[in-house]
Amino acid sequence: MHSISNKRGRPVDPGLAKRRRQEICAEAARFFAEFGYPQADVQVLADRLGVGKGTIYRYFPSKEDLFFATVDAGIQELSDQIDTEMAGDVDSVEIIRRGVLAYLGYFDRHPELVELLIIERAEFRDRKKSTYFVHKERNNPKRRAFLLEAMKAGVVRTMPVDRIIEIFNDTLYGAIFTNHFSGRKISFRKQAEDLLEILLNGILADDRRSSTPAEKARAVKPRQPKQS
């Protein structure tokens, strides 16, 4: 009996290794989310995939390499989907809306990625920077360029670009953990619209808005004490 790999003349599939890595990482994400890191037995993962443990180690030399590759693959897929949704010649506000929907939608479909971020923080505290923030910094130049163009077009008011990026990131990053731990009851689409309403329009009435926090504070009239 001859194996497929031994058939003479069979062309080499250049994408096979990449697909195998993707398949392993996809199952490993659910695997680590279920078992955590210390208790995760690679043999169990191999059994789930229907391969020998050596096959996994052929692509990932250690369990640690497998874990970090799995987290990286998840965050990269998230970034790719956001970029895809934000592409196109459409209104800047719509692009922002699509980006927020893509972000929340991805974590809605892949809650296991939140677990992986928690595990990474808990088990590898000595890492200088977590995978999520490595990708965030890598993507920041694209976000800056987009916001600068939106400012130039008069869609976004002039203010420090990094400030906008950090506020959006902190809000969305916090939202995925709140959703994960609290069991969000509303759809991610409704949550995205609610967040955008506040992030884009604020909470102050039109006649109370101003350009700086100090001016906003002065614009809010203090309550007058009741006359006795």
Helix (H, G, I), strand (E, B) or coil at 221: coil
Could you tell me the CATH number of the domain that includes residue 150?
1.10.357.10
Separation CA 14–CA 12 (nearest Å) = 6
Average pLDDT of the chain?
A: 89
Residue 222 has pLDDT above 80, yes or no: no
Is 45 part of any domain?
Answer: no
Whose CA is closest to 86, among 168, 157, 209, 194? 168
Q: Band of the pLDDT at 14, cuts 50, 70, 90?
A: confident
Is 73 part of any domain?
Answer: yes
Is 211 part of any domain?
Answer: no
Residue 227 has pLDDT above 70, yes or no: no
- Give the tokens for residue 222: 């203090």
Is 170 part of any domain?
Answer: yes
Separation CA 31–CA 110 (nearest Å) = 13
Is 127 part of any domain?
Answer: yes
Answer for the pair 83, 61: CB distance below 8 angstroms, yes or no.
no
Number of domains in the chain: 1
Answer for the pair 114, 176: CB distance below 8 angstroms, yes or no.
yes
pLDDT at 13: 76
Is 12 part of any domain?
Answer: no
| Contacting residues for 39 by C-beta, under 8 A, at least 6 apart | none
Q: Band of the pLDDT at 143, cuts 50, 70, 90?
A: very high
Q: Band of the pLDDT at 211, cuts 50, 70, 90?
A: low
The H or E element containing residue 84 is helix 63-86
Look up the domain containing 105 and give its range: 67-203
Residue 204 has pLDDT above 60, yes or no: yes
- Give the tokens for residue 214: 């100090």
Is 23 part of any domain?
Answer: no
pLDDT at 1: 33
Is 187 part of any domain?
Answer: yes
Separation CA 118–CA 206 (nearest Å) = 40
- C-alpha distance from residue 21 to each of 43, 58, 72 (Å): 16, 10, 12
Q: What is the pTM of this model?
A: 0.84
pLDDT at 6: 44
- Give the tokens for residue 84: 């895809």
